[in-house]
Amino acid sequence: MQRITILGATGSIGVSTLDVVGRHPDRYQVYALTAHARVRELAEQCERFRPEVAVVGSADAAAALSAMLQEKGVSTEVAYGEEALCRVAGAPACDTVMAAIVGAAGLAPTLSAARAGKKVLLANKEALVMSGNLFMEAVQASGATLLPIDSEHNAIFQCMPASYSREPARHGIAKVLLTASGGPFLKRDVATLESVTPEEAVAHPNWVMGRKISVDSATMMNKGLEVIEAHWLFGAAAAQIEVVIHPQSMIHSMVSYVDGSVLAQLGNPDMRTPIAHALAYPERIESGVAAVDLTQIGQLTFHKPDFQRFPCLKLAYDALLAGGTAPAILNAANEVAVQAFLDRRIGFRTIDRVIARVMEALPHGNITDIGALLEQDRRAREVALSAI
């Protein structure tokens, strides 16, 4: 019986995780659920799964949740704030942590889980993008198990040898191939992208995701962050990580070997597949997702990405090559710019311009500790707001 903490339980990944967990009550028990402000949804989840602890973002949210749970007769302990998030992520009573808090807010609790030696299911790519080597050192020092949840990285993981040691050459790996749907604007005239609305940007053709990550998909910054994440997860250099546009989203990623073999992982576009894979690893369990019917797919197509259409992808490669705090700066500037776009303060094509300006304005020093990293993150956000 695995006891699970879900960081970000009311988001799309958290909801999908609970769907898989609910299918296997003999294998999984929920220890803690967390959400920032969606109190009513969290109360309903607590009523069904009866966690020991629920964590929210503020005292007001905690008071509201406590009242709802008391009304439902649920005895779950309620806490709030970052310290409480870190506590439930590293608690001795918890075995597995689903890290699904979006953005930089997920860094501290995800790092807490890694330091505590948990089985960490990493859906929060920003934590690894920001802290890179520090995060991987924490995993190695504690003996934590790190399993990727992003469909692309999970697919790469499935296509690699079971004994993979983050050394591509040792295992005969030439490249990892990250597939990307291309988002909602793959075929739209580039000249018209200035007029894109938030509603258009969040309307992903294949995946149901939150607003921030949907915008990242539309700009392909999401794929850029995945390039940086792949570097840390698999030890691949930037030149060994290739992005391939694949609009059908059936092949979730591939691994190319030096002997000419290319291994691909296929599946319907549903996050319950990688979630179930990571929850049960190295076993397999039913996820609720139907198997791919190859006779119904029709065709699978692939294209090279266009940096003129997707400048954010180029910025992410630049950040990876620059190293140091460059990826953290990139991530912070992107979060601020995307929120400004969603708030209709800037246009869609201004997102990459803000990021580029912040990248140029700040030095990319080496990461020495989390405190220095968070200070650079804060500074990048200030510069981004100033640019906006």
Encode the chain (388 residues) as per-residue pLDDT tens digits. 999 999 999 999 999 999 999 999 999 999 999 999 999 999 999 999 999 999 999 999 999 999 999 999 999 999 999 999 999 999 999 999 999 998 888 999 999 999 999 999 999 888 899 999 999 999 999 999 999 999 999 999 999 999 999 999 999 999 999 999 998 999 999 999 999 999 999 988 877 778 898 999 999 999 999 999 999 999 999 999 999 999 999 999 999 999 999 999 999 989 999 999 999 999 999 999 999 998 888 889 999 999 999 999 999 999 999 999 999 999 999 999 999 999 999 999 999 999 999 999 999 988 888 888 989 999 999 999 999 9
Cβ-contact 148, 154 below 8 angstroms: yes
Q: What is the total residue count of the chain?
A: 388
Burial 49-65 (b: 16+ CB within 10 A, else e): bebbbbbbbeeebbebb
> Which of 84, 78, 76 has its CA nearest to residue 61?
78
**What are the distances in angstroms from CA 379 to CA 25, 181, 255, 273, 357?**
45, 33, 37, 38, 13
Instruction: Give the CATH architecture of domain 323-388.
Output: Orthogonal Bundle (1.10)
Burial 277-309 (b: 16+ CB within 10 A, else e): bbbbbeeeeebebeeeeeeeeeeeeeeebeeeb
Classified as helix, coil or strand, 180 is: strand
State which CATH number among 2.40.40.20, 3.40.50.720, 3.50.30.50, 2.10.240.10 fits the domain covering 2-148. 3.40.50.720
Residue with tokens 């080597």: 133
Classified as helix, coil or strand, 35 is: coil
Classified as helix, coil or strand, 110 is: helix
d(CA 289, CA 196): 33
Domain ranges within the chain, ordered by starting residue: 2-148, 151-268+294-307, 323-388
pLDDT of residue 206: 75
Residue with tokens 């930089």: 104
d(CA 49, CA 176): 38
| Dihedral in degrees, nearest 10, Cα atoms 86, 148, 271, 91 | -20
pLDDT of residue 304: 95
pLDDT of residue 205: 80
